[in-house]
Amino acid sequence: MHQQTNKLIDITNTCIDLGHWPSHFETLTTIIITKPNKTSYDSTKSFCPIVLLNTTGKLFEKMIREQLQFLLISNNFIHTYQLGRLKYRSTTDTGVALTYFI
């Protein structure tokens, strides 16, 4: 498992170094599903579109996002009180920061 993770990281880093993101990572498929219990399927509201993205591409994007976040935080590019949408920062952290300010 660990060896497979290292290969994925190597592929991701190579894509970044080359400045190339393979187009098949961005390929998506839209599937239209009919909603149950509709009297008529003449309206677009009777259908639910589901978008499916390439799983490998999503995995690589998550790895890149986490690596960027780590680099930004470890190099102090993000303010200490920036708590939203950051890994390992929670609502509790926000409450502590608010208590400190008050």
Query: How many domains are contained in the chain?
Result: 1
Which two three-digit tokens encode residue 41?
């399927």
Most confident stretch, 51-55, 71-75, 76-80: 71-75
> Counting Cβ atoms within 10 Å, is residue 27 exposed (0-12), middle (13-18) or buried (19+)?
exposed
User: Average pLDDT, stretch 83-94?
Assistant: 73
- The DSSP annotation for 47-88 comes to EEEEEEE-HHHHHHHHHHHHHHHHHHHHTT-S-TT--TT-TT
What pLDDT, on a 0 to 100 scale, did the predictor assign at position 86?
Answer: 74
What pLDDT, on a 0 to 100 scale, did the predictor assign at position 2?
Answer: 63
Domain that residue 12 falls in: 2-101
User: Average pLDDT, stretch 27-48?
Assistant: 83
Per-residue buried b or exposed e for 3-19, using 16+ beta carbons within 10 Å of the residue's own CB: eeeeeeeeebeeeeeee
Residue 47, pLDDT > 80, answer: yes
Confidence grade of residue 18 (pLDDT, cut at 50, 70, 90): very high
Share of the chain above pLDDT 70, in %: 90
Single-letter amino acid, residue 1: M
Residue 90, pLDDT > 80, answer: no
